[in-house]
Structure 1
Amino acid sequence: MPETTGVTLEVKGRTAWQRSIAQYSDRRVLLILPLGFASGLPLLLTFSTLSAWFATTGVSRAMIGTFALVSTPYALKFLWSPLIDRLPPPIPIGRRRGWGIAIQLALIAATLALGACNPKVDLARMASLAILVAFLSASQDVVIDAYRIEILTPEQQGPGAAMIQTGYRIGLLVAGAGALIIAARWGWFAAYATIAALLSVGMLVFIFGPEPAPAPGVRLHAGATGWNAFREWLATAVTGPFADFMRRPMWPAIVIFIIGYKLGEAMAGVMAMPLYISLGFSLNEIAAVSKLVGFIATVAGALVGGVVTSKLGVMRALILCGILQSAGNLFYVLQAVGGHRLDYLAFCVAAENLTGAMAGTALVAYLSDLCSPAFTATQYALLSSLAAVGRTMVASSGGVLADRLGWVPFFLVTTVATIPALLLLVWIARRDPESLPPSGNHLSHR
Structure 2
Amino acid sequence: MEEKSRKNPSWAKAFSVYRHPRVLGMLFLGFSAGLPLLLVGGTFTAWLRDLGVSLAAIGFLSWVGMAHSLKILWAPVVDRMPLPFLTPLLGRRRSWMLLAQIFLLVSLLGMAFTDPREHLAWVALWAVLAGFASATQDIAIDAYRIEAAEKEFQGAMAASYVLGYRVALLAAGAGALHLAAGLSWSVAYGTMAFLMGVGILTTFIIQEPDVFVDEKTRRLEREVAVLENGNGEKKNFFKDMRLWFAGAIIGPFADFWQRFRFTGLVILLFIGLFRISDIFMGVMANPFYLDLGFTKTQIGNVAAAFGLAMTLTGAALGGVLVARFGIMRMLIATAVLAPLTNLTFSWLALLGPEMYGLVVAIMSDNISAGMAVAVFIAYLSSLTNTAYTATQYALFSSIMTLPGQFLAGFTGVLVEHISWFWFFISSALIGIPAIFLAILLARLANPDRIKQPGHGRKS
For 1:186-265, list aligned pairs within 5 A: 186-216=183-213, 217=218, 225-247=236-258, 248-249=260-261, 250-265=263-278
Question: Which of 78, 82, 89 is matched with 1:84 structurally?
Answer: 78
Deviation per CA, 1:395-415: give whole Å up to 9, x if none: 333333333342222222322
Q: Which residues in structure 2 correspond to 1:236-315 (within 5 Å)? A: 236-247=247-258, 248-249=260-261, 250-315=263-328
Aligned counterpart, 2:227: none
Q: Which amino acid aligns with 1:187?
A: S
Task: Compare 344-353 and 310-319 and name the one that shifted more.
Answer: 344-353
Name the count of aligned residue pairs: 434
Q: Hey, what's the Cα distance between the residues in 2 that align with 1:10 and 1:319?
A: 20
CA contact (8 A) 1:29 1:163 kept: yes
For normalisation by structure 1, the TM-score amounts to 0.92
User: Per the alignment, in what secondary structure is the counterpart of residue 329 of structure 1?
Assistant: helix
Contact residue 69 and residue 402 of structure 2 kept, 8 A:
no
User: Match for residue 64 of structure 1?
Assistant: 58
Structure 1 residues 39-438: aligned runs within 5 Å? 39-90=33-84, 91=86, 92=88, 93-216=90-213, 217=218, 225-247=236-258, 248-249=260-261, 250-430=263-443, 432=444, 435-438=445-448
Q: Indicate the SS of the match to 1:41.
A: helix
The AA in structure 2 aligned to 1:242 is F
Task: Tell me which residue corresponds to 2:230.
Answer: none
**Which deviations, in whole Å up to 9, do the C-alpha atoms of 1:16-53 show, x marking residues without a partner?**
22211110111111110000000000111111211222
Residues 90-143 of structure 1: CA deviation (Å, up to 9, x unaligned): 412211111211221121111111111011111011111100000001100001
Q: CA deviation at 1:146?
A: 0.5
Deviation digits for residues 298-343 of structure 1, max 9, x if unmatched? 1111111111111111110101122122221121011101011122
The alpha carbon displacement at 1:426 in A equals 1.4
Q: What amino acid is aligned across from residue 211 of structure 2 in structure 1?
A: P
Distance 2:4 2:136 in 1: 46
Q: After the TM superposition, which residues 18-29 of structure 1 pair with which residues of structure 2 at under 5 Å, given as runs?
A: 18-29=12-23
CA distance in 1, matches of 2:148, 2:55: 45
Question: Structure 1 stretch 270-279 or stretch 42-51: which is displaced more?
Answer: 270-279
Q: Which moved more, 1:294-303 or 1:209-218?
A: 209-218
- Amino acid of the residue matched to residue 316 of structure 2? L
Q: In structure 2, what residue type is equivalent to 1:153?
A: E
Amino acid at match of 1:117: T
Q: CA deviation at 1:61?
A: 1.9
1:368: how far off?
Answer: 0.6
Do the aligned partners of residues 225 and 211 (structure 1) sit closer, same or farther apart at CA in structure 2, a change above 3 Å counting?
A: farther
Task: Please tell me whether the aligned partners of residues 332 and 348 of structure 1 are also in contact (alpha carbons under 8 angstroms).
Answer: yes
Contact 1:155 1:439 (8 Å CA) reproduced: no
Does the CA contact (< 8 Å) of 1:159 and 1:303 recur in 2?
yes
Q: How much has 1:74 moved relative to structure 2?
A: 1.0
With over 3 angstroms needed to count, the CA separation of the structure-2 counterparts of 1:408 and 1:30, relative to structure 1, is: same
CA RMSD of aligned residues (A): 2.3
Identity of aligned residues (%): 38
CA distances 1:259-297 after superposition (whole Å, capped 9, x unpaired): 111112222222222322221222232122222111101
User: C-alpha displacement at 1:225, in angstroms?
Assistant: 4.6
| AA partner of residue 164 (structure 1) | Y
Using the alignment, how far apart are the partners of 2:402 and 2:103 within structure 1? 29
Partners of 2:11 and 2:451 in 1: how far apart? Answer: 20
TM-score of the pair, normalised by structure 2:
0.89
Counterpart residue identity of residue 233, structure 1: W
Does the CA contact (< 8 Å) of 1:154 and 1:440 recur in 2? no
Q: Say if 1:266 and 1:390, in contact at 8 Å, map to a contact too.
A: no
Shift of 1:154: 0.4
For the Cα contact (< 8 Å) 1:313–1:439, is it kept in 2?
no
SS class of match (1:120):
coil
Per-residue CA deviations over 1:180-235 (Å, capped at 9, x if unaligned) read 1222233222211211111111122221211111333599xxxx751221111111
After superposing the two structures, state which structure 1 stretch, 436-445 or 299-308, moved more: 436-445
Q: In the alignment, which residue of structure 1 is the partner of 2:229?
A: none
Within 1, Cα distance between the matches of 2:62 and 2:239? 41
Q: Which runs of 5 or more residues in structure 1 are unaligned?
A: none
**Distance change >3 Å, CA 225–CA 33, structure 1 → 2:** farther
SS at the partner of 1:214? coil
